[in-house]
A and B are shown apart, each in its own frame.
Chain A
Amino acid sequence: MRMKKPAVVLATAALMTLAACGGGSGNSGPTASKTLAAGGGAGSFKNKDAKAPLAMPSDASKGGTLTVLTNQVPAYLDPTQAYFTDSTAILSDLVTRSLTQYAYNEKTNDMQLIPDMATDLGRPSSDNKSWTFTLRPGLKFEDGTPVKAEDVAYAVKRSFAIAELPEGPTYNTTFFLDGDKYKGPFKDKGAYNGVVVKGNDITIKMRRPFTDMDYYASFPSFTAIPQAKDNPQTYGNHPIATGPYKFVNYKAGSELTLTKNTNWDPSTDPGRIQAVDGWDFKFGQDTAKLENVIINDNGTAKTTLTYDDVSASSYRQIAQDKARLVTGTSPCTFMWYLDMTKIKDVNVRRAVGYAYPYKAAWKAGGEIIGVTRVPGTSILPPGTAGRVEYDALGNKGSETDPAKAKQLLAKAGFKPGQFEIKFLFASDDDLSVAAKNEIVKGLQAGGFKATPIASTSETIRTDRTDPKSPINVRSSGWCSDWPTGGSWFPAQWAGSLVGLDGMPNLANFKQKDMDDQQDHILDTMTPQQAAPAWGQFDKSMETKYYPAVVTGYDGTAMMHGSKVGGMENDNVRGMPTFARMYITK
């Protein structure tokens, strides 16, 4: 999934503008964050028996308005196009229900996949080539008309209309029947054979086995959309609500107001409550200002929250009031993708891993180690089903060893200062420049020649994926779409992606043995077998080829006012758990 800060995260990764948060001042270190401990997962557990309605918490008062201030601006609020963490969380948790959903589990401090509009998590056929979901009775749109299976089928068809509705998730084109041919209901007036409706049953047919359909069905694109009211250009300004809140006022780029949807019935929903009267989102706010408002906690600020990570400068003040800081992980891994076509010797690639100044670059880039950036060595982030913990270099993902780097370079036949590493940085971003300075120091100490290539925050994304860019390392990252390896390796590490527009395979990684392993997992394994197989794939790829330096996992640290209740970290998205939030008595 794409992160809420696309330009920065996907662009600069190790050079992110995230910042501080965590423990108390001095005594308890910031590493004491609870979800970072072992077992903290990213929704890798499912509970198909979750019961509706969700009980109202005992300290919840009825009514009031929660205000959300953020520096971010959500890209699209059309359910079909929602693929960033912020738009997905706002739509799924509050407005548009999908076939399945994630819900916070207090016991494990983790997100669980539970049914939503469907009665269960879907029933796959034995070969995983068709999935059937059954709609609950009693579902209604915000205008009171009942939700029919046809409305969900229409939403599924709509997600193929990439020309009219770009930027949404596109697993449907890869896995669904005729996904490569069908162009959506706007262009293609004919029938689509991939979705079959029978009474309350919706059956989705695949062209290749798809084991993760239950996770994929939690995306807002699997909501219900009444075809009669759809206009792809304007639907995102007011998506018809099926969840507990509906749009009242949406000004793209500045604000969104939600109010109670009286046609939402709690007895049909195992994951959401409707405690407050409304929500007030204000986008594109000044970071320093919004942090001051929440820290000072006066008046309406008591019912105000943000989903931005707290900045290094404000962290100290909020650290004294730890109850108002929510920390955890988002399932994202930052990497330095080493271009396999330009850095051909595996010893040189490993040397980069030893020379990279992990801690210095993180700190200079404004990251708090252990809180907003968690050291790690596996590509799959903590909490992914079947994840294998390994250490390809034996450096814990955070220790720099210049001597070892020089030694490996000598083994590969390069004198110190001979092999050149070229990487991008944003010259108009202070933190990016500071991190670049540290990376240059580190690489030089490790025997490389370091050439930072200047770009700007505006252009760094396109520069990075431009095949003509004179760089041999790409700093970026990836976030889970769902917590199994299936949303990681086929999306970034398949040989077939080399040379495509937008450069999805950032390391230009194309090895026949690895591609064969991926096909084997995708085409022959059950979900239970596939999860550990992806973990092993992760380990063998990094150990054998070392195509990427893992530069840590993404941590989350969000502040809220003293009367905001039920706010936890949704570790599938790195967002607040909007669905269960309320104002305390």
Chain B
Amino acid sequence: MGIQPTELSENDVQADDAIPVTSAVAGRSPTQIALSRLRADKIALVCFAIVVIFVLIAVFAPLLTKMFGVELHAGNPVTDLDEFNYPAFGPPDHGFTWKAPLGIAPNTANDLTAEWLYGARTSLFVATVATLVSTVIGVVVGLLAGFSTGWLDRALNFVIDVFLSLPFILVALAVAPIIVSRFNQQPDKLVFWQFVALLAVLSFLTWMTLARLVRGEVLSLREREFVQAARVIGVPTRRILFKELLPNLVAPIIVSISLGLPAFVTAEAGLAYLGIGVVGAPSWGQTINKAVTFFNTYPLYLYAPIVGVTMLVMALNLLGDAVRDAFDPKTRR
């Protein structure tokens, strides 16, 4: 079996007194190297902080709305709007008020601060779950396809090809009315299943690239000596897959996750904008959809969710780039 850098005992290195400059040659795992590179990257740190802030907002959305003294879907159109259906207090006509820091929506009088905070929650939740599910599926299918030869590889490849041929938007458009007609008589279930359907569409139609990537890596790795040695001494396949091969795939997987997250945030907002995403829960995409026509008269309505999406996606993307650079041993700076 080939010796993995991760399996080198650090004690062995440090105990080697024959070499005088101990600290300079201290063995470090690729992950440790990558993390230290990341720590030195100021942009990565700033982006990481922004992402952490968004995560905190998402986790503590209910507390934050309480702190601002606002509530979700509690507006009363009769009392909170003027005769033109514009807000009777707060922007765009009446200046800033703590009653509604980001204003209230025309027509419905829903509080936009609460919508924004819960929108962050929806965005991050959808992105995280979809990333996790698609990564797990992608890695498992990729490992199996790459390591197995013969019919299983061909079958899995065929499945990958089939899924790659499904147009993402069309499937989302097709699924939405099916869910509506299936659960149209149970409003609570409808909201839940619409959410599940969105997650399913996002997860099950995006794992193929990662699966192909992993399969390619495995194809080259499985002919290496350490894998062949493991086979010779009778290590079970499961163990070879997860203990020998998977650790060597950490870098591409992490890169795929870090680039997948922002893509899912955008996809969720995009689908909600098309009216086929999350319907029951607040979402940035939905707010953007409603606010577009008010752009001339009430720009804040549109800006708040756009700033949210842009900041989150940009932070995640830059962080993803930094992670990729850090994990790629060929990167030179």
The reply to whether chain A is a binding partner of chain B is: yes
User: Which residues of A pack against B, CB within 8 Å?
Assistant: 20, 22-23, 25, 29-31, 287-288, 292, 311-317, 319, 359-360, 363-370, 422, 427-431, 433-434, 437-438, 451-456, 458-459, 470
Cross-chain contact of B293 among A311, A427, A455, A459 (Cβ < 8 A): A311
Chain A CB within 8 A of B163 CB: no
Chain B residues with CB below 8 A from A23, complex form: 83
Which of A292, A427, A437, A453 is within 8 Å of B73, CB to CB?
A: A437
Asked whether, in the complex, the Cβ of A20 is within 8 Å of the Cβ of B84, the reply is: yes
**What's the Cα separation between A232 and B50 when bound, in Å?**
66
Is the beta-carbon distance between B83 and A453 smaller than 8 angstroms?
no
For the complex, is B1 an interface residue (Cβ under 8 Å from A)?
Answer: no
Instruction: Indicate whether B228 reaches chain A with its CB closer than 8 angstroms.
Output: no
Contacting pair B296 A455 (CB below 8 A): no
B307 to chain A, nearest CB (A): 20
Chain A residue nearest in CB terms to B295: A313
Kindly list 7 other residue pairs between chains A and B, CB separation below 8 angstroms, not including A368-B83, A429-B275.
A288-B292, A364-B77, A364-B107, A427-B180, A430-B275, A431-B107, A452-B187
Whether the Cβ atoms of A366 and B181 lie closer than 8 Å is no
Q: Given A20-B85, A431-B107, check contact A313 B78 (CB 8 Å).
A: no
Chain B residues within 8 Å of A454, by CB: 180, 183-184, 187, 190
Query: Does chain A have a CB within 8 A of B81?
Result: yes
Distance between B74 CB and nearest chain A CB, rounded to angstroms: 10
Question: B62-77, CB under 8 A of A: which get 1 and which 0?
Answer: 0000000000010011
Give the chain A neighbours of B293 by CB distance below 8 A: 287-288, 311-314
Cα A470 to Cα B177 with chains together (Å): 18
Given the known interface contacts A313-B293, A316-B84, the answer about A434 and B108 at a Cβ–Cβ threshold of 8 Å is: yes
The answer to whether B86 and A366 have CB atoms under 8 Å apart is no
- Taking a contact as CB atoms closer than 8 A, the residue among B177, B289, B297 that contacts A313 in the complex is B297
- Give A292 to B328 CA distance when docked, in angstroms: 51
Cross-chain pairs A/B with CB under 8 angstroms, 24 sampled: A30-B83, A288-B292, A311-B293, A312-B85, A312-B107, A312-B293, A313-B297, A314-B296, A316-B86, A316-B297, A317-B297, A360-B76, A363-B85, A364-B107, A364-B108, A368-B85, A369-B83, A370-B83, A428-B276, A428-B279, A437-B108, A453-B184, A453-B187, A454-B183
A292–B181 Cα distance when bound, in Å, is: 37
Distance in angstroms between the alpha carbons of A364 and B84 in the assembled complex: 12
Give 9 nearest A-B pairs by CB, closest first: A363-B77, A313-B293, A454-B184, A313-B294, A434-B108, A359-B78, A428-B275, A364-B108, A360-B77
CB–CB A458/B107 < 8 A: no
Complex Cα spacing A89 to B36, Å = 74
**In the complex, B185 has a CB within 8 A of chain A:** yes
Q: Known: A315-B84, A430-B286. Contact between A359 and B184, CB under 8 A? A: no
Q: Which residues of A contact B296 (CB under 8 A)?
A: 292, 313-314, 317
A455 nearest in chain B by CB position: B184
Cβ–Cβ < 8 Å partners of B106 in chain A = 312-313
Asked if A458 and B177 make an inter-chain contact with CB atoms under 8 angstroms apart, the answer reads: yes
A366 touches B107 (CB 8 A): yes
Of residues 44 to 76 in B, which have CB atoms within 8 Å of A's CB atoms? 73, 76
Per-position 1/0 for B81-93, Cβ under 8 A of A: 1011110000000
User: Smallest distance from the beta carbon of A265 to chain B beta carbons, Å?
Assistant: 46
CB contact between B107 and one of A292, A365, A453 (< 8 Å): that residue: A365
A326 to chain B: closest CB distance in Å? 18
A68 to nearest B CB, angstroms?
Answer: 21
Q: Size of chain B's interface in residues, with CB distance under 8 A?
A: 35
Distance from B80 Cβ to chain A, minimum over Cβ atoms (Å): 9
B222 within 8 A of A: no
Whether, in the assembled complex, B176 has its beta carbon less than 8 Å from a beta carbon of chain A, the answer is: yes
Nearest chain B CB to A286's CB is how many angstroms away? Answer: 10
B:274-305 near A, CB below 8 Å: 275-276, 279, 286, 289-290, 292-298
User: Is B73 touching A430 in the complex (CB atoms < 8 A)?
Assistant: no
Complex contacts, B286 vs chain A, CB 8 Å: 430
A316 to B294, CA, bound (A): 10
Q: How far is the CB of A138 from chain B (nearest CB, A)?
A: 50
Are A430 and B289 in contact (CB-based, < 8 A)? yes
- Whole-angstrom distance between the Cβ of A176 and the nearest chain B Cβ: 41
Q: Tell me, in angstroms, the Cα distance from A96 to B180 when the chains sit together.
A: 44
A427 to B176, CA, bound (A): 10
CA A392 to CA B85, docked complex, whole Å:
28
Tell me whether A22 and B84 are in contact in the complex, defined as CB-CB below 8 angstroms, given that A456-B177, A458-B177, A459-B177 are known contacts: yes
Output the nearest chain B residue to A452 by Cβ-Cβ distance: B187
Q: Known: A313-B293, A428-B275. Contact between A363 and B84, CB under 8 A?
A: no
- In the bound complex, residues from chain A placing their C-beta under 8 Å from that of B276 are 428
- Point out the residues of chain A lying under 8 angstroms from B177, CB to CB: 456, 458-459
What residue of chain A has the Cβ atom nearest to residue B292's Cβ? Answer: A288
Taking a contact as CB atoms under 8 Å apart, the answer to whether B84 and A368 are in contact is yes
Residue of A nearest to B279 (CB): A427
Specify which of A313, A315, A363, A451 is in contact with B81 (CB 8 Å cutoff): A363
Q: Which residues does chain A contribute within 8 Å of B76, judged by CB atoms?
A: 360
* Complex CA–CA separation, A22 to B104 (angstroms): 22
A30→B84 contact, CB < 8 A: yes
Contact yes or no, B187 A459, CB < 8 A: no
Residues on the B chain within 8 Å of A455, using CB? 180, 184
Q: In the complex the two chains form, is A360's CB within 8 Å of B84's CB?
A: no
Cβ 8 A contact of A363, one of B107, B187, B279: B107
Among A29, A292, A431, A434, which residue has its beta carbon within 8 angstroms of that of B83? A29
Return the contact of B77 from the options A20, A29, A359, A430 (Cβ within 8 A): A359
Q: Which residues of A contact B81 (CB under 8 A)?
A: 363
User: Taking each of B84, B183, B293, which has the highest tally of chain A beta carbons within 10 Å of its own beta carbon?
Assistant: B84
Residue in chain A with minimal CB distance to B186: A451
Q: Which residue of A lies closest to B74 (CB)?
A: A441
Contacts of A288 in B (CB 8 A): 292-293
Q: What CA separation (Å) do A431 and B76 show in the bound complex?
A: 15
Known: A369-B83, A428-B176. A434 touches B107 (CB 8 A): yes
Question: Which of B109, B275, B292, B295 has the most chain A CB atoms inside 10 A of its CB?
Answer: B275
Quick one: which of B76, B83, B107, B296 has the most chain A CB within 10 A?
A: B107
- How many Å from the CB of A443 to the closest CB on chain B? 13
**Chain B residue contacts of A363, Cβ below 8 A:** 77-78, 81, 85, 107-109
Residues of B within 8 A of A459 (CB): 177, 181
**B residues near A311, Cβ cutoff 8 Å:** 293
Chain B residues within an 8 Å CB radius of A367: 85
Task: Report B-chain residues with C-beta under 8 Å of the C-beta of A319.
Answer: 84
Which residues of chain B have C-beta atoms less than 8 A from A366's C-beta? 85, 107
Instruction: Give chain B nearest CB distance to A317 CB in angstroms.
Output: 7
Q: Does B290 contact A430, Cβ atoms closer than 8 Å? A: yes
CA distance A156 to B3 in the complex (A): 94
A311–B290 CA distance with the chains assembled, in angstroms: 12
Closest chain-B Cβ to A84's Cβ sits at a distance in Å of: 25
B204 → A minimal CB distance (Å): 22
